[in-house]
Amino acid sequence: MRTWTLGDRVVNRMGFGAKRLGADPDRATEVLRRVVELGVNHIDTASFYGTANEQIRRALSPYPPDLVIATKVGPTADGLARPDQLRGLVEDNLRQLGRDHLDLVYLRQQGLDSIADHFGALAGLREAGLIRHLGLSNVRDTHLNEAVAIAPVVAVSNRYGIGFGRINDDLVRTTGERGLAFVPFFAIAAEGREEGGVAATDRVLAVALAHRVTPAQVRLAWTLHQGPHVLAIPGTGNPDHLAENVAAGDLRLTEDDLARLG
């Protein structure tokens, strides 16, 4: 299965993360336009990703009708936003992207036992027409249960990858059972986290050598093998790496490969 219905929009399971576009506007424009040319129609971004939103608008507006742009709100320079501050963060994204509504907004939580007040604020913005669909990021299963009692959730985005973030195995299974998308971050970088790069462990390297592909492509293929509801959002500012990432969607791992990778 190459596609997934995200809310009411069909997206290719291989998407694109805008965090690593870089500061060069011409290079970013080249990469983003190539994203669309390669058939990618799901871009993940956030206003706290530097100039990513403005770069997306510069390169792609007016937007292709099938393009889904997902963004995240919550983190600020002073910590997690209060519920009453979330509208301002949503409006920042609207202005930067040049949109009158946002396709998908994740509540990116940190340190909350209950997300009810924060998610409730976003649910209100959904009712007001500023947001089409809602998601959750960096959450536990208790947060998901709390949120779905307030408003529909279409996606969960947590850290996950080979040998990394496997505390989310149960959440991957739960989202699949509920018909929700699971969108991993750090799938390529793993322990590298914000520093980026590719976590090229011995087992990843062995599978990559067997298939004559890159370690990053193995990690992305493994991601997509975790279930038809699992989407990939690799980020890069390099057009060549972008093409390799998209090509990873065609890499079929064997049962032996998957057993070796864990």
Residue 106 bears catalytic tag: no
Per the residue annotation, which of 49, 63, 106, 160 is the catalytic one?
Answer: 49
CA dihedral 69, 167, 138, 70 (to 10 degrees): 0
State in Å, rounded, how far the first CA of the chain is from the last one.
22
Asked if 107 and 135 count as a contact pair (C-beta separation under 8 A), the reply is yes
> What is the set of active-site residues?
49
